[in-house]
Amino acid sequence: MSASKDVAVLGVGMHPWGKWGRPFVEYGVHAARAALADAGVDWRDVDLIVGGETVRNGYGGYVAGATFAQALGWNGAKVATSYAACATGAQALDTARARILAGMSEVALVVGADTTPKGFLAPNAGERWDDPDWLRFRLLGMTNPAYFAMYARRRMDLYGATSEDFARVKVKNARHGLENPNARYRKEVSVDDVLTSAVVSDPLHLLDICATSDGAAAVLVASTEYAARHGIDRPVRVNAVSTVTPTFPNTVLDMPNLSTDSSLVVGEPERTFKESIGHAAYEEAGIDPADVSLAEVYDLSTALELDWMEDLQLCGRGEAEALLRAGETTIGGRIPVNPSGGLACFGEAVPAQALAQVCEVTWQLRGQAAGRQVEGARVGITANQGLFGHGSSVILSR
């Protein structure tokens, strides 16, 4: 891919994850100011702000771009707001990238922030019989961990994964997150700790499943020409942002759907939805999976991390457990996965998490991930999946 299709990452910033009980705007402003300071760019120079939206944060959340713009101080910038469930941050980043590549913007600030309730993420209140997210709760009581457990059981049946394998993912990610100042959970755990924690949805235990968290992340992107003019001659670059939708028929159970499509008349697509997310990113970036130095993936559960390794072609089908057991997915291994600690250490802050992954990959590519650095990192990939056919993968390089 030519440089003209890349955008430069000038700055990244985060608000630490936790349960702080504060308005989401405070978190977003903190992250935005950190990204601006990291870049050495004045807020008044930003000509576009894109906010990641979440319905939980009321009217301010629905118009997150303008909400953050006002909180930072109206500067006349253009504004946009994006929503794509758990892929929101990447979709917001793609909106900024598209405007920059179209020549409609030079410097764009992308911000996502969330304040989450205690317990499971549930749909909005009210009777909504045409909403599949609401229906799965009303008809079956299907909370997210129930889906995670079905995916885990499928992995056990297909590839011989064990509860111990899932626990090893948590042990690895907990160790990765120990030195991450933005992580909510910074404590080592053992396989036994995981296996003796409460069963939430068999075969998954409490420590197999990520929490819901407050947090924020921000990314400042610009044209490569702007970066060069400001003396940044070797920035981290966004090479691709994949936001593809599924291809009919969808023959693997997907949240929040309660059934799959038949492939009797139309054969199964070449790739599953999750496989297509990473494939589109590789195609756009012109980068081979073998070139990837590290991956930040959507580990809602420990078992899902193993799925993503294969979906992103970091290993073959059924090979993820072997890599995990051999230590190849830990820092120092062949392909470190979730060196930040992942959602296992952060928890979900929905509009922010895809941007948090971009922040982590940026720090890794710059060599600034103190205590968790992947040595010699040159290419990083992220992956997220959201409700209603949303998915995202971002490839960055330096």
The predicted-structure confidence for 265-280, as pLDDT tens digits, reads as follows: 999 999 999 999 999 9
Specify the pLDDT at position 193: 98
Phi and psi angles of residue 2, each rounded to the nearest 5 degrees, phi first: -75, 155
Rounded distance, CA 110 to CA 122, Å? Answer: 26
Specify the pLDDT at position 1: 37
Mean pLDDT of the chain: 95
Specify the pLDDT at position 121: 83
Fold for 3-119+214-236, please state it.
Peroxisomal Thiolase; Chain A, domain 1 (3.40.47)
Of 261 and 121, the one with more pLDDT: 261
Containing 207, the helix (H) or strand (E) segment is: none
Provide mean pLDDT across the span 232-240: 95
For 318-344, how does the pLDDT look when each residue is reduced to its tens digit (9 = 90+)? 999 999 999 999 999 999 999 999 999
Provide mean pLDDT across the span 160-166: 98
- CATH superfamily to which 132-208+239-397 belongs: Thiolase/Chalcone synthase (3.40.47.10)
Specify the pLDDT at position 141: 87
Six-digit token string for 315: 């290993």
Q: Could you check whether 3-119+214-236 and 132-208+239-397 share the same CATH topology?
A: yes
Specify the pLDDT at position 2: 41
Provide mean pLDDT across the span 137-152: 92
Rounded distance, CA 348 to CA 283, Å? Answer: 29
Specify the pLDDT at position 257: 84
Phi-psi category of residue 347: left, alpha or beta, with phi > 0 → left and psi -120 to 50 → alpha? left
Q: How confident is the model at residue 3 (pLDDT cuts 50, 70, 90)?
A: very low
Q: How confident is the model at residue 125 (pLDDT cuts 50, 70, 90)?
A: confident
Specify the pLDDT at position 4: 62
What are the contacts of 196-200 at 24+ separation with CB within 8 A?
A: 200/145, 200/149
**Cβ(134)–Cβ(75) below 8 Å:** no
For 30-87, how does the pLDDT look when each residue is reduced to its tens digit (9 = 90+)? 999 999 999 999 999 999 999 999 888 888 999 999 999 999 999 999 999 999 999 9
For 164-193, how does the pLDDT look when each residue is reduced to its tens digit (9 = 90+)? 999 999 999 999 999 999 999 999 999 999
Residue 168's nearest CA partner among 176, 179, 180 is: 176
Q: Taking the domains of the chain in order of start, what are their residue ranges?
A: 3-119+214-236, 132-208+239-397
For 374-387, how does the pLDDT look when each residue is reduced to its tens digit (9 = 90+)? 999 999 999 999 98
